């Protein structure tokens, strides 16, 4: 018994160090040594602690775990949503995992998701403490990280009624059309050549969201793009500093705190100058200034005349803008990229989507947003893409305020709750031939992604559901329609359809390992 614990400790020490390295923290060797020693000390601390604490009696099932690191080793060499999905097949749709110091509840069935996001929605409407929320997102004052309460409710209201309302999304139509036309022109100049479509789509999403937020007024466009991509990497997945919150030394060793502080400083400098510029042009409007208010204008107006219960500070405005930029970019571009990838594997579907588009738009010679509602098949393709490849596969983690019971199991207060939307979208109890890309499954089906069907929750559900759904879908539909209308597509020489499989990255998010590369063949040019 004694030997077993000791052996377990050695295994977990070793695994933690591998884990730190695998999580791309690239520790120099003296830091690894320090980590090793620290881990050793912590094992004693954690064993002592676990004896003192009252552990809950009826937790959801869990796999065998190691001392100190708990189940962290299970996340090595696999995407978290894939690994959680495999584990759920063995241990059930409600699992308890100890990742580092934190208790995680992993939800992997529509029934259990409904319990969390509908039956007990208020209790689970909080977000756990995550270091990026404090450092980068202005001390949790953005929408995604803000704790559930009056301030968050006010932000959601501003979002739904002002920033991302259907009317506002429509008013930015010309921004989307202009940015997408630029992309189509740039692709046209490369017809017959292999292009990195994945990267181009990612830049397109950033440009659309940036122009919507700032109008034409972001001089440091390129610099900002690069900072935002880094922030996105930092917030996605599981970081050692968040899994061991009490061990401040880990934050230092991993370099995470310093990295986030640098990102915050860079972002803040850019946002500050953009806001100052907006204030100046508001105070001194010139002929030729943009007539349509961008999102910064809307927030500054609300700050001045909104009669808000929680007056907005400039930092609050920066936090909200940053949230919108981060929430709305990779999500939309990943969806378009996956849709293209799936259709390249299934040429019949590609042809069908193109035939529909060309029938609708050939008489006009170009794609426009007002006629997108006619594209019935394209909408099925997008739904099926979101089912198999939800861009936020584990949604955004939630935290429960009070302990509660789900499916007869006890969920301790302050558990970090992860909903595996990716596994739920492939649940064979709900989906026939669940792994097959088959857009027609949504034909004559009332199942939608709007939060009422818990077997299909790419935007989440309940109070914390994505407020940017209409905006995100507007970007996805228009970009996909334009790509398919203006070009035929070929795989690069030597690439086979099977190569399009298994392109998810090894890492913490659903990003692809390799961007999708394709050859465009001109059909019609804007
Ligand atoms: C295809 C596009 C998109 C997908 C799939 C998506 C998905 C999600 C998901 C899964 C969540 C977490 C929901 C939950 O916890 O239940 C979320 C939250 C959020 N999304 Fe989106 N999103 C998309 C586009 C956008 C866009 C375009 C914006 C803004 C312009 C945006 C802003 C946000 C914000 C602010 C939150 C946090 C909400 C809160 O905590 O109250 N998203 N999104």
How confident is the model over 263-302, as pLDDT tens digits?
999 999 999 999 998 888 877 776 555 557 889 999 999 9
Greatest mean pLDDT among 196-210, 457-471, 502-516 lies in 457-471
Separation CA 484–CA 520 (nearest Å) = 10
Evaluate whether residue 39 is within a structural domain: no
Q: Does the annotation place 466 within a ligand binding site? A: yes
For residue 22, the CA-to-ligand 1 centroid distance in Å is 28
Separation CA 6–CA 380 (nearest Å) = 55
- Which is higher by pLDDT, 257 or 457? 457
144: Cβ below 6 Å to ligand 1? Answer: yes
Separation CA 359–CA 16 (nearest Å) = 57
Task: Give how many domains the chain has, as a whole number.
Answer: 1
For residue 459, the CA-to-ligand 1 centroid distance in Å is 6
Residue 143 has pLDDT above 50, yes or no: yes
For residue 468, the CA-to-ligand 1 centroid distance in Å is 6
Q: CATH number for the domain including 443?
A: 1.10.630.10
Enter the tokens of residue 5: 């614990």
pLDDT, average across residues 512-524: 80
Q: Between β-strands 195-196 and 487-490, what pairing exists: parallel, antiparallel or unpaired?
A: unpaired
Residue 134 has pLDDT above 80, yes or no: yes
464: Cβ below 6 Å to ligand 1? Answer: yes
pLDDT at position 288, please?
Answer: 55
pLDDT at position 2, please?
Answer: 40
Separation CA 383–CA 485 (nearest Å) = 19
pLDDT tens-place string over residues 364-420:
888 999 999 999 999 999 999 999 999 999 999 999 999 999 999 999 999 999 999
pLDDT at position 39, please?
Answer: 59
Evaluate whether residue 30 is within a structural domain: no
- Reported pTM: 0.89
pLDDT, average across residues 323-348: 93
Strand order in 102-107's β-sheet?
Answer: 94-99, 102-107, 416-419, 398-399
What contacts 470, CB < 8 A, 6 or more positions away? 164, 166, 169
Per DSSP, the three-state class of 449 is coil
What contacts 361, CB < 8 A, 6 or more positions away? 367, 368, 371, 481, 485
Separation CA 215–CA 225 (nearest Å) = 15
Among 201, 335, 468, which is best to mutate for testing ligand 1, by the most ligand atoms less than 8 A from CB? Answer: 468
Separation CA 87–CA 106 (nearest Å) = 10
Evaluate whether residue 59 is within a structural domain: no
Take atom 11 of ligand 1 and give the residue whose Cα is closest. Answer: 466
pLDDT at position 524, please?
Answer: 72
Take atom 6 of ligand 1 and give the residue whose Cα is closest. Answer: 459
pLDDT at position 235, please?
Answer: 81
128: Cβ below 6 Å to ligand 1? Answer: no
**∠ CA 49-415-251 to the nearest 5 degrees?**
65
Closest CA to 211 of 170, 163, 181, 178: 178
Q: Count other C-beta atoms under 10 Å from residue 1's C-beta.
A: 5
Please give the number of the atom of ligand 1 that sits closest to the Cα of 156.
41
Evaluate whether residue 407 is within a structural domain: yes
What confidence tier does 490 reach under pLDDT thresholds 50, 70, 90?
very high
pLDDT at position 27, please?
Answer: 38
- Which is higher by pLDDT, 107 or 55? 107
Residue 81 has pLDDT above 90, yes or no: yes
- 398 is in which domain, residue-wise? 72-522
Evaluate whether residue 480 is within a structural domain: yes
Take atom 40 of ligand 1 and give the residue whose Cα is closest. Answer: 144
Residue 30 has pLDDT above 50, yes or no: no
For residue 3, the CA-to-ligand 1 centroid distance in Å is 48
Evaluate whether residue 56 is within a structural domain: no
DSSP state of 524: -
What does the CA dihedral 480, 483, 485, 491 come to, rounded to 10 degrees? -120
For residue 351, the CA-to-ligand 1 centroid distance in Å is 31
């Amino acid at each position: 018994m004694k030997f077993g614990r000791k052996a377990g400790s050695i295994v977990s020490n070793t695994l933690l160090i591998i884990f730190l390295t695998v999580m791309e923290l690239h520790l120099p060797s003296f830091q690894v040594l320090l980590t090793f020693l620290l881990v050793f000390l912590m094992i004693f601390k954690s064993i002592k602690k676990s004896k003192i604490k009252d552990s809950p009696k009826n937790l959801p099932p869990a796999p065998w775990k190691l001392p100190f690191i708990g189940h962290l080793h299970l996340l090595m060499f696999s995407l978290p949503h894939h690994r959680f999905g495999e584990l759920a097949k063995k241990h059930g749709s409600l699992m308890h995992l100890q990742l580092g110091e934190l208790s995680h509840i992993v939800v992997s069935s529509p029934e259990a998701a409904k319990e969390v996001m509908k039956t007990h929605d208020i209790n689970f409407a909080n977000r756990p403490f995550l270091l990026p929320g404090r450092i980068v997102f202005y001390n949790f004052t953005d929408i995604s990280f803000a704790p559930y309460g009056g301030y968050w409710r006010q932000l959601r209201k501003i979002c739904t009624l002002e920033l991302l309302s259907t009317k506002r999304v429509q008013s930015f139509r010309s921004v989307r059309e202009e940015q997408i036309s630029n992309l189509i022109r740039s692709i046209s100049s490369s017809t017959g050549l292999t292009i990195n479509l994945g990267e181009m789509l990612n830049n397109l999403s950033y440009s659309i969201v940036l122009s919507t937020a700032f109008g034409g007024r972001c001089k440091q466009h390129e610099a900002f793009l690069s900072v935002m991509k880094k922030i996105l990497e930092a917030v996605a997945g599981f970081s050692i500093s968040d899994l061991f919150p009490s061990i401040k030394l880990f934050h230092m060793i991993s370099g995470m705190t310093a990295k986030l502080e640098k990102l915050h400083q860079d972002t803040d400098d850019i946002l500050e100058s953009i806001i100052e510029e907006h204030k100046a042009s508001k105070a001194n409007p010139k002929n030729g200034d943009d007539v349509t208010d961008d999102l910064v204008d809307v927030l500054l107006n609300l700050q001045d005349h909104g009669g808000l219960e929680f007056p907005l500070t400039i930092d609050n405005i920066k936090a909200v803008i940053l949230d919108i930029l981060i929430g709305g970019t990779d999500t939309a571009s990943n969806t378009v990229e996956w849709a293209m990838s799936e259709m390249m594997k299934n040429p019949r579907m590609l042809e069908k989507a193109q035939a529909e588009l060309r029938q609708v738009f050939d008489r006009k010679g170009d794609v426009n947003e007002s006629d997108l509602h006619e594209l019935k098949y394209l909408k099925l393709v997008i739904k099926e893409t979101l089912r198999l490849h939800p861009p936020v596969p584990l949604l955004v983690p939630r935290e429960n305020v009070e302990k509660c019971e789900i499916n007869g199991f006890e969920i301790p207060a302050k558990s970090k709750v992860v909903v595996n939307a990716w596994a739920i979208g492939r649940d064979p109890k709900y989906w026939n031939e669940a792994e097959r890309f088959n857009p027609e499954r949504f034909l004559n089906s009332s199942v939608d992604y709007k939060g009422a069907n818990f077997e299909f929750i790419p935007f989440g559900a309940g109070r914390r559901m994505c407020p940017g759904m209409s905006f995100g879908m507007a970007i996805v539909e228009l970009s996909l329609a334009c790509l398919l209308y203006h070009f035929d597509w070929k795989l690069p020489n030597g690439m086979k359809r099977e190569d399009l499989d298994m392109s998810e990255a090894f890492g913490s998010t659903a990003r692809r390992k390799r961007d999708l590369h394709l050859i465009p063949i001109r059909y019609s040019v804007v």
